[in-house]
Amino acid sequence: MGLEQRTLTVPALVVMIIAASAPLTAVAGGVTTNYAVTGMDSVPLSFLLIGAVLLVFSVGYTAMSRHIPNAGAFYAYVAEGLGKALGVGAAMVALVSYNLMQIGIYGMFGFAASSFSNGLMGTSIPWWVMALVAWVVVGFLGMNRVDFSVKILGFVVAAEFLVVIIYNIMAFSLAPEAPQPEAAFNLGDAVAPGMGAVMAFTIAAFMGFESGTIYNEEVKDPKRTARRATMIAIIIIACFYAFSAFAVAVGEGASNVMGSTAEFGPDLLFVFFSAHTPAWFVDLANVLFITSLFAALLAFHNVIARYFYSMGRGGALPKFLARTSRTTHAPVAGSLAQSLLAVVVILVFAVISTGKDPMYIVFTMFTWMTNSAAYGLVLLMALTSFAVIGYFIRHRTKDSVFTRVIAPLLSGIALIYVFAQIVVNFDLLLGMEEPGMLGYILQAIVILPGLIGWALALFMRSRTPNAEPDQDILPVVSTSQH
């Protein structure tokens, strides 16, 4: 039994994509950290630049979804475009990266939920208790119909947008200095020293935008839904985050934004609300910050469950991972596998963090894992860009030259540049003042499974030397059919 329910519409898929990017978390955490660490005024511009790159990327990427309707997305496209062995490697990198992203968010969720609850009720609940509560709920929802998750995520995402919009309005209304759009959106800064670090931080806020094609077996119109939803989501994320990043600079004052973000970090928005709004609104904003993290947990869980399903169906992982529910059609085996991985990591960090400062879990589990995930996903996007070109060279279609060659080539070059910036600034992303072994270890955790998968696939192919060039000698690449 497959995933085919055909219930997801364009608006529903847009909600799923935006939920993964966690708007309130991205603005409160990502934007403020970007200002504080890089010291660049052009953080708002970086969202428009990255948004433009990802829009160009999505032209070829979503075109592939019309020809390869597979829940494995990245790995299925790389397999078809650059070869089956490389597809196996991409599959492993994708699975590790998405799990790092999802599980890392449990650290921030646990910290935020326990801090808020303890401050409100005077308790001393540890972070991991709250993380396990979220883990139970996410696991339950992950085994139910995907449109049920959409209803919950829709409410959460709408509330997040509302809070950030209120902040933006107040920031402009109470601005201590005149706004300086010429500094925030100076195109000359696109090639300025330091802009690479800004982009390395910024692209992390978009992670999850590519998940639209993963649901292509569950949308009402496989030819159009994923394409439209992905592009709409990118435009919304890029424009909304750019304006909100500018609002942060306006609300604090251009001359003070670096100092304020360095002092308060992710608490900056809540400090601002504390000074200008009633206490109940501050509490509400905190609750929505927590639900924003929960929405991202659920969105990424659904993505990973479908990756397990697709890889199990294709043969890259044990076949039992391709099992779906007879009643909900959800990939229950994949959902359970992701939940098992998550609980193991939560419990390990629960032991490690015992007796340490509450922020320890944010600086380690959250920061290490989510930035490592961004590293892997940007690499996969660059590979996928060239895979698009490879696929269309081998398959004659009615797609335009821009779709088949120009757009993927431009996005591939741009994404290689962004990936290089992530590598160069990786220690900075981890919050380390000097390069150290930690950065190399975390990058290896992402890359090594891919190299091992690629090498094993090549070994398997070498054992069938008489196979035809286009013969399916690697079981993983049952990509086009289900």
Q: Which of 38, 61, 114, 72 is nearest to 429 (CA)?
A: 38
The separation between the first and the last C-alpha atoms of the chain, rounded to the nearest angstrom, is 10
Q: Tell me the DSSP string of 305-346.
A: HHHHHHHHHHTSS-GGGG---TTT---HHHHHHHHHHHHHHH
For the chain, the 3-state helix, strand and coil shares in percent, each to the nearest 5, are: 75, 0, 20
Cα–Cα distance measured from residue 477 to residue 482, given in angstroms and rounded to the nearest whole number: 11
Residue 70's pLDDT band (cuts 50, 70, 90) = low
Whether the predicted pLDDT of 403 surpasses 90: yes
Average pLDDT over residues 33-42: 89
Cα–Cα distance measured from residue 427 to residue 437, given in angstroms and rounded to the nearest whole number: 10
Average pLDDT over residues 366-372: 91
Residue 191's pLDDT band (cuts 50, 70, 90) = confident
303 touches 211 (CB < 8 A): yes
Written in H, E and C, the secondary structure of 33-81 is: HHHHHHCCCCHHHHHHHHHHHHHHHHHHHHHHHHHCCCCCCHHHHHHHH
User: Which of residues 466 and 360 earns the better pLDDT score?
Assistant: 360
Residue 211's pLDDT band (cuts 50, 70, 90) = confident
Whether residue 469 lies inside any domain: the answer is: no
Average pLDDT over residues 154-181: 91
Average pLDDT over residues 276-283: 94
Please report, for the domain that includes residue 266, its CATH number.
1.20.1740.10
Arithmetic mean of pLDDT over the chain: 86
Whether residue 4 lies inside any domain: the answer is: no
DSSP for residue 31: I
pTM recorded for the entire structure: 0.86
User: Which of residues 59 and 8 earns the better pLDDT score?
Assistant: 59
Whether the predicted pLDDT of 250 surpasses 50: yes
Average pLDDT over residues 81-89: 88
197 CA to centre of own chain: 18
Whether the predicted pLDDT of 475 surpasses 70: no
Q: What is the pLDDT of residue 379?
A: 94
Residue 146's pLDDT band (cuts 50, 70, 90) = low
Across 310-314, 342-346, 358-362, which has the greatest mean pLDDT? Answer: 342-346
Buried b (16+ CB within 10 A) or exposed e, 388-405: bbbbbeeeeeebeeebbb
Whether residue 466 lies inside any domain: the answer is: no
Q: Which of 276, 25, 266 is nearest to 161 (CA)?
A: 25
Q: What is the pLDDT of residue 450?
A: 93
Q: What is the pLDDT of residue 15?
A: 83
Cα–Cα distance measured from residue 358 to residue 153, given in angstroms and rounded to the nearest whole number: 28
In angstroms, what CA-CA distances link 181 with 41, 186, 342, 369?
Answer: 10, 8, 43, 34
Cβ neighbours of 176 (radius 10 Å): 11
Average pLDDT over residues 421-425: 90
Kindly state the helix (H) or strand (E) to which residue 263 belongs, with its residue range: helix 257-264
Whether residue 479 lies inside any domain: the answer is: no
Cβ neighbours of 377 (radius 10 Å): 26
Average pLDDT over residues 281-310: 90
Provide CB contacts within 8 A for 325, sequence distance 6+: 143, 332
Residue 72's pLDDT band (cuts 50, 70, 90) = low
158 CA to centre of own chain: 19
Average pLDDT over residues 257-261: 92
Q: Which of 130, 97, 100, 138 is nearest to 114 (CA)?
A: 130
Whether residue 481 lies inside any domain: the answer is: no
In angstroms, what CA-CA distances link 220 with 10, 232, 338?
Answer: 9, 17, 26
Whether residue 148 lies inside any domain: the answer is: yes
Average pLDDT over residues 407-425: 93
Whether residue 149 lies inside any domain: the answer is: yes
Cβ neighbours of 85 (radius 10 Å): 23
Whether residue 3 lies inside any domain: the answer is: no
Q: What is the pLDDT of residue 69?
A: 64
Residue 402's pLDDT band (cuts 50, 70, 90) = very high
User: Which of residues 46 and 477 earns the better pLDDT score?
Assistant: 46
Mean pLDDT is lowest, of 171-175, 316-320, 377-381, for 316-320
Cα–Cα distance measured from residue 234 to residue 169, given in angstroms and rounded to the nearest whole number: 23
Whether the predicted pLDDT of 214 surpasses 80: no
Total structural domains within the chain: 1
Cα–Cα distance measured from residue 81 to residue 390, given in angstroms and rounded to the nearest whole number: 4
Q: What is the pLDDT of residue 148?
A: 63
Range of the domain at 115: 10-461
Whether the predicted pLDDT of 479 surpasses 80: no
372 touches 100 (CB < 8 A): yes
Residue 149's pLDDT band (cuts 50, 70, 90) = low
Whether the predicted pLDDT of 465 surpasses 80: no
pLDDT in tens, 323-349: 887 776 788 999 999 999 999 999 999
Residue 466's pLDDT band (cuts 50, 70, 90) = low
Whether the predicted pLDDT of 382 surpasses 90: yes
